[in-house]
Structure formats: structure tokens, C-alpha cells
Amino acid sequence: MNELGSRGVGIRCAGVVHLYRTFEGHDVVALQGVDLEIKAGERVAFLGPSGSGKSTLLTLLGGIQRPSAGRIFLGDDEISRMSERRLARLRSRRVSTMLQGATRNLLPHTTARLNLKFARLGMDAADRDHAMPETELLSRVGLEGQADQKVHTMSGGQRQRLALACALATSPQLLLADEPTSQLSHGDRDHVVGLIHELGEDLGTTVVVVTHQAEVATSFARTVTMKGGRVGSEGRNGSEYAVIGNEGVIHLPAHMVAEWSPGTLVRIEQEQRRIVVSHPGDEQVVAHPHPDAT
């Protein structure tokens, strides 16, 4: 636990599947077997093309929806099997989700300070006493002068910084943010991303951010790229790695898929701590060192 009394929580997804039933009665498969582990206190960016399942996975981690199949654990608690009552407690105390668009997370016709008070309504009095004071929280996000300003009169960057303060007001174990910088200027984007890292580090919170922006993704030491409802690849400190899934399936990186059409024969060999994928036709050899290899 860190000095402010908060502690991140580890996440484990095993075979997570999610279907949506459309009005016409068809099933849309949004997630088709997500296996993923995130360590307590880790900060991760989810990337991937539109429709690959990023937002769906975020809502499942936040206990907003329950998966159709598979298991999701936050620490030792299996949230995929929690009662609605326990999920509601989880959402008001342990996990904060910033939905896409700052105003969806705020009460626009009230002040910044009242928004913070509202965010803390679900907390026990004892927890509230231990949480960061409102004035300090506002100052940490650069809004010390806006405490009594109404949200609808604030700029986009100010609103998003307030939304972040509200999300962290409960000292959550897990912060989930869907495209938190998508409608901001470059300056505001960098400010918000910097605050997510700084406050996440100070509070010890586990952080998952969905983003389409390369500038945001590169600020995260770990990226998870979704592809067709699964984890397609992972990035560690700027290097991209394929992920071996259940039953040994490997999704090849996009640039190789583009070069090698379906049906191409490849040879896969293990060479010390490297997996070598070679194409016998043109002697092309691509090697991926194991992320943990020194």
C-alpha cells in the first residue's frame, strides 16, 4: 500500500467471450476468448481497430456489463459472477470508469467541487476521511482556481481534468478510461496523459486506457492490441510481440499477415529463448525475442 492509502488491483481474464443481441435478434460477437493478465499498479493502453472489442472489454473490467462466458478476476474476486449489489459497490468504491466524452462523467450544471462530492457519495465516512482532500485533488489537476466554477462553462481540457479528479476521488484500485484524450488539443492531451501517469503512480492505481492516438500509446510501457475480439499482440517498451493464445494459436503481426497470405507454409522453431518463424520459400526469417529475455 502506498502513502495515500490506495493500492492497485491485479486483473485476470480467462476465455472471456461477449455477445450483443441486436434488435433484429442477431448475435454480434464482440469478444471471442480474451486471456489477459495485468499486474496490480500496472498502467496499460488498449489499442486496435474500430470494432475490435476494446470498449467492450473495458466495460466488463469495470463491472458495467457481465461477460457472456469466461471469467474475470480483480484480485481474488471473480467479478464475472458477482451479484448486482456487489457489482454496484465495486463500481462506487473500487473501480472508476471514465466513459468516452468528459461531460458523460460529470454533472454539467454544478460546480467542480460539487462534482467531486457527488463522486464520493458511495464511500464510507471512514474511507472518505482517508481520501485526498477535494482542494488538494483540484490542485493536483490544475483546477485550484475553478473549484466554484460550473462545469458547462469550462474548456474541454478543464472538464477532462475534472473528470479524472472525480474518477480518482474515491482512491480506486482500478481506473479505466475510454479515449480520455480523443477530443482535446495536443497541449490538453499531453496534460491529461501526464496526470494519468503521475496520479496513477502516486495512488498506486492500476490503469487501463483505450486510445487510438499513437502519442498516447507510446507513453505506456505496456500496450495490448485487440484484434477481432482477442488479444492480437502486445507491446513492451516500444517493441511489438505476438501472443501465444490458448491451444498454442499465435496471431502474426499485421505486417507479416499482409506479406504472407492465408495458406502460406511457415516453419516455427524454438532457438534458446527465441521463437523463429521462417518461410521456406524465400528464406525470410523473422525472430521475436521473448519479452523477458535479457
Ligand X SMILES: Nc1ncnc2c1ncn2[C@@H]1O[C@H](COP(=O)(O)OP(=O)(O)OP(=O)(O)O)[C@@H](O)[C@H]1O
- Rule CB under 6 A: which residues touch ligand X? 20, 22, 28, 30, 48, 50-56, 226
Task: List 95's β-bridge partners, or say none.
Answer: 174
- In our burial notation (b when 16+ CB lie closer than 10 A, e otherwise), range 254-283 reads eebeeebeeeeeeeeeeeeeebebebeeee
CB of 55 to ligand X, least distance (A): 3
Decide whether 100 or 103 has the Cβ nearer to ligand X: 100
CB of 284 to ligand X, least distance (A): 31
Decide whether 41 or 53 has the Cβ nearer to ligand X: 53
223, 217, 220: which is closest to 243 by C-alpha? Answer: 223
CB of 113 to ligand X, least distance (A): 32
Decide whether 55 or 170 has the Cβ nearer to ligand X: 55
181, 164, 177: which is closest to 54 by C-alpha? Answer: 177
* Angle at alpha carbon of residue 69, lines to 63 and 71, rounded to 5°: 60
CB of 193 to ligand X, least distance (A): 18
Decide whether 226 or 243 has the Cβ nearer to ligand X: 226
Decide whether 53 or 63 has the Cβ nearer to ligand X: 53
CB of 59 to ligand X, least distance (A): 8
